[in-house]
Structure 1
Amino acid sequence: MNDAMQCDQCGFENPPGMHFCGKCAAALKRVCPTCQFANPTDFRFCGQCGMVLDSIPVDEPTPTPGKSTAQTTTHPVTKHHRQQAERRQLTVLFCDMVGSSALSERIDPEDLRDIMRGYRSACSDVVSHFDGHVAQYLGDGILVYFGYPHAHEDDARRATQAALDIVRRVSELRYPLLSGEEIPLSVRVGVHTGLVVVGEIGDGDKRTLALGETPNIAARLQELSTPNSVVVSSATHHLISDDFDFEDLGGHQLKGFSQPLNLYRVTGEHSTRQRLLANRCLHHEPLVGRDQETALLMERLEQACKGVGQVVLLGGEAGLGKTRMVQMVLDRLANQPCFIMECGSSPYYQNSFLYPIIDLLQRTLGLTDITDNVERQAHLQQSVETLGLDAAEVTPALAELLGIHI
């Protein structure tokens, strides 16, 4: 069987594994290792079976015995230098910018470079914030791992929250051109959780990649999402169903996969209050052994109801009944004419001491599920006017705090 790769430009037959013609330097076709289909050089997915070509390791050319290798500085890598491959569960996020090809026809290449830099920087900042790992930049696509190299118990939630934040951050980007036109950007994001094998690929410029169907499924989900939306698989949905709101998209047959998958569009994050209620999982049995603390709380509550402001710091290790006691106070206030506000911290915002207040304002003003910057600005303006506040003074201050560009 002849595995030689024939150049379409000059007809020269190149040895297997070559990426450029040795006679005319033209780019050779990319052969899919799964089905052996010859794809054009700019294909990111195999046109025959749908395999992600960009995630396939590039084989280093093997030196011919007796030939000089003075032009290469790559040294052989022994097995002792290889990183041990790991089998683990990973949540993979695949993000792709919408309309980049059409955009490249409309603007100057230097403007396109600036746009791509801003787009990648925004995505990278969000991924770093949630301790994810950018595995590859694939043109205008970005492949991200959550669970490698650092694993967390909530990697699926981190990935989904990062996806929503990427949509918001990218939609806020605006690039003015010399013509006066502003270029808005939008993205599509897919998220899937599954088993992979993570290890180094190649003997020269080694890359650490996750191999398996999980990255390919994430890429397929991205293709099925609409601009500025996030689509997750049923595997990811099962892990985060209590943390986000979803639209059930039903079963879909993904190209290259035999079994259909149930897909979900993420429509928003649960508010802090909803998460607190979901995480309480309270029992209705009497609270035992907390009579003194309960009496103190009830006393402070009665004073507050009389108009004497109170502050209570309730501390203790996990499992001692703090949440149960707070719920007891809330139950006592259920039929009282009062306004209850709940704030909660988040491990994802440890460096933002104002996050509880920001989250409270987002919920109070109804901005939690709105991602478009223009819509957020209009909704904020309307809320300020409805409350009878001085819009000229209050709106800019709140907009800066809430990350709304005006």
Structure 2
Amino acid sequence: MIRPVAVIGAGPFGLSTAAHLRARGLPVRVFGDPMVSWRAHMPEGMLLKSTPAASSLDCPQPGHTLADYCAAAGIRGLAGDEDVIPVETFIGYGEWFQRQLVPELERVRVVSVEPAGRDAGRGFELKLDSGESFVARAVVVATGLSGLAHLPAELAAAAEGGPEAEGPVSHSSWHHDLTRFAGGELIVVGAGQSALETAALAAEAGARVRVVARGRGRVAFGAPPWEQPRLRPESPFGRAWSLWALSYCPHPYRFLPEPTRHFLVRRVLGPLGAWWLRERFEAAVQVTDVERVLGAAAGDGGPVLTVRTHGGRTERLTADHVVAATGYRVDVAAMDFLGPSLRTHLATSRGAPRLGAGYVSSVPGLYFTGLPAASSYGPVMRFVCGTEFASPRLAGHLAGAHG
């Protein structure tokens, strides 16, 4: 019996990888709830920052782009760079892609992954929450943002137990329905698209919202497509030589010095609101620029956010709740489904797995794609369009290594 490849995760990178592996004739078992992060951890009413052209899941078969789905579903008006994609449309597209190309998806959770023998050369033993155990010859980790929400230390203490708790501070990914804040005072910490769109949606739902942005002048919005330079190459993220190189030539990225790679992942395509959000945001949300956030604590009437102003003063801001839109941080230690022996033997760089050619880790047969691959292959791995580079190369390497 030929042992299958196990793909853990059913978001864009997991589904795209599985489609490529199946097209090569490899036996594959795929585990997860399709598009769950988009369905459960993005705010209702959200619009994607990426353009329609940059929002398709890659696969070898023609006829499975976002445009193909929209045509099949009778959805019009998502053809040009000026069109924006409702999150509900993108979720529907991902679920349609899964039904078409990954029909054998198993909606169960992988509890643990361990080497099947003394080393990973004999494959990996997987245990499922259904009670089943089996051996896979290779494992692809494509778990997306799951478990990687980042709360800075100065805010984490007031979060009181994580997503299931009702503490005074929470992470933006813990909220799908922002109407819970209607009629109250809300502080959103952050300056990226997640912070600015969360703030705008909460304000439109009836909350009184203030964004606290760390660093002078940090709230900014991108230029609309018609104002971008015409003499530079196009990329999924805009017209610039650097963005073109990061989008279409990620392979040399892993040979850059480690500090440079991590710096670029943080800064390229960093905190910037979408051009179409500016008017809605500025009409409804107050902004306070601060030098830094010092901490948060529960007060008698709600949380108190302590900040240092650019003038050096310490101020305390009060609200009914604080939402930290502070992004995600890859940390292999947080992937508790990977057994202790695997995590011990994984080479990492600032918590992220070090990946070689074909997205393979330092443990033969163990692959990572999507956000955990960003420190090795660049910022494009944070976005759906990264499947175009990652998925065929990962599938090709795996097929060659196990052919």
For the criterion TM > 0.5, the same-fold answer is no
The structure showing larger relative contact order (alpha-carbon pairs under 8 Å, at least 6 residues apart) is: 2
- TM-score, length-normalised on structure 2? 0.20
